[in-house]
Structure 1
Amino acid sequence: MSLDNLRDLYQQVILERYKKPRNRGKTDPVDRYQKGHNPSCGDTIELTLQLNDAEDQIQDVKFEGEGCAIAMASVDLMADALRGKTTAEALEMVQKFQAMMKGEAEFPSELRKLNVMQGVAQFPVRIKCANLSWHTVKAALELAKDVQPAGFISNE
């Protein structure tokens, strides 16, 4: 696929997910909650997670928030990708996504939609926008049960 075609696909998926997100709202119940903020451009998200009874698998991921197309598309794609994953798998995916933003990795074919976000790496100032949701979900998963977050997690 040519570079121009990849750029077009990247833009198309990001705009589609920004305009029609599939994972807006709050999970029911809310087993984990975390707010994330990107001070560089003002992106803000509130992430909720529903876990299984053993709290080792993600049943659902939802978000609320405002931000640029990249931040909103990234959180929406992330929510799809994390549903059904164990918490350990999710934390590995956070590392892989952050490595992908540095050009060091990509996701396997079953998670190829996340690879669309590789286009962000061409714009270093926008990498924080794409990483916001991933920093936020990591903080949410690392919280102990019934512990309320101290405030916003920042990607700075």
Structure 2
Amino acid sequence: MADAMEQLYQQVILDHARARQGAGELLDYGGESFQINPTCGDQVTLRVNLDPAGETILQLGWTGEGCSISQASLSVMHELVTGHPVTRAEELGGYFRDLMAARGRELDAVRQEALEDASAFTGVARYPARIKCALLGWMALRDALVQARGRA
């Protein structure tokens, strides 16, 4: 059973790396963050557009280069947070950081389920060198949200 889950998780990551959700330059935005992983060279420029009250993520776009893990993580993140409240995005970011800190162990059922496809990165957390790849987009989102909320 564990092998079947591992294969499913790997397929989710590969699917998102190939069909990158949210990839593309966002021209109208309130916050922007450029992040680079100096260890491997992965990089992303992420832009976010919030509603006028600064409470909901209306649009999120990103451009970047890197390994399938960093690109898939950005794609999954885009699906999870676009159209949702900033507070929910921050909560999910915390869950994802917890997942990476768990080093390959699943989180409790509530957080694991909330992460949806992002739970596929459970196995990635077993490899310390890959954790930064998976977190790259989430760190960019955190930074871009701070900027966008400051301007809202």
Verify same fold: TM over 0.5.
yes
User: What percent of counterpart residues are identical?
Assistant: 32
The alpha carbon displacement at 1:119 in A equals 1.4
Task: Give the whole-Å Cα distance in 1 for the aligned partners of 2:63 and 2:11.
Answer: 22
Letter in 1 for 2:128: P
Identify the residue that residue 134 of structure 1 maps to in structure 2. Answer: 138
Identify the residue that residue 17 of structure 2 maps to in structure 1. Answer: 18
Task: Give the whole-Å Cα distance in 2 for the aligned partners of 1:137 and 1:20.
Answer: 20
The alpha carbon displacement at 1:110 in A equals 5.2
Gaps of 5+ in 1: 147-156
Letter in 2 for 1:82: V
CA deviation string 1:1-53 (max 9, x = no partner)? x1211221121111111112121112342121111111011000010111111
Structure 1 residues 107-116 or 86-95, which shifts more? 107-116
Task: Give the whole-Å Cα distance in 2 for the aligned partners of 1:109 and 1:92.
Answer: 13
SS at match of 1:35: strand
The alpha carbon displacement at 1:111 in A equals 3.8
Identify the residue that residue 114 of structure 1 maps to in structure 2. Answer: 118
Gaps of 5+ in 2: none
Identify the residue that residue 83 of structure 2 maps to in structure 1. Answer: 84
1:105 aligned residue (104, 107, 110)? 107
The alpha carbon displacement at 1:64 in A equals 0.4
Task: Give the whole-Å Cα distance in 1 for the aligned partners of 2:143 and 2:107.
Answer: 22
Which has a greater percent of helix?
A: 2
Task: Write out aligned runs for 1:8-87 (5 A).
Answer: 8-87=7-86
Letter in 2 for 1:86: P
Task: Give the whole-Å Cα distance in 2 for the aligned partners of 1:47 and 1:93.
Answer: 17
TM-score, normalised by the number of residues in structure 1 = 0.85
